[in-house]
Amino acid sequence: MAPTSEILTAERILEATEEVLRRHGPAKATVVDVARALGVSHGSVYRHFRTKAALREAVTKRWLDRTSGELSGIVAEDRDPEARLRDWLATLFAAKRRKAGDDPELFATYTVLTGENGTVVGEHIADLTAQLARIVEAGVESGTFAAGTDPGTTARALFHATGRFHDPRYAREWEEPGTEADFTAVMDLLVRALRA
């Protein structure tokens, strides 16, 4: 148990929740388990997160935000929009593969939790497509991508066209032979279409 003399913060609770989810899975993990891992009462956890659902939503958001944060740096870079687009999508694919491969139990747990938290997932997808839209917009402004391209519509199309490489429903396919070549072929096709 963690010493109770440490200040109980939302971040500490989320870290403990992730560990409890890793150990017990989403069906069996409880707020009492989280409190026990922290060495506090479950009431202390409820002071930060009013319900078990709110706690699960917060831990899911935290997990998804890690990917968004990693990608936002690519969006902010001052370099060729085509290279940024390729890097952004490759980084998204690599991040999802890493999550699925490095900790399959936790990945499976989060797949369940994201299914429960449609609002959090919707916000995450909106953030990701907004990031893509900024790259597309930079490409249109620089003349790299075709004039008249609507960044928002194009970003959503790019996101959906590459779904096989980042949607958790396809996780089993990510390590199959030829997946990298398929990703490169899709990227090349999409970039050619944007230049037209």
At 36-94, the pLDDT tens digits run: 999 999 999 999 999 988 998 898 888 889 899 999 999 999 999 999 999 999 999 99
Name the pLDDT band for 130 (thresholds 50, 70, 90): very high
Question: pTM of this prediction?
Answer: 0.85
Our measurement of the distance from residue 31's CA atom to the centroid of its chain's CA atoms, rounded to an integer in Å, reads 24
What is the reported pLDDT for 111? 79
pLDDT at 165 over 90: yes
Name the pLDDT band for 117 (thresholds 50, 70, 90): low
DSSP secondary-structure letter at 6?
A: S
What is the reported pLDDT for 107? 79
Name the pLDDT band for 2 (thresholds 50, 70, 90): very low
Q: Please, how many CA atoms are within 13 Å of residue 167, restricted to the half-sphere of its CB?
A: 11
- Does the CA dihedral 148-125-12-102 come out positive or negative? negative
Two tokens, residue 2:
């963690």
* Cα dihedral 91/96/101/104 (nearest 10): 160
What is the reported pLDDT for 3? 47
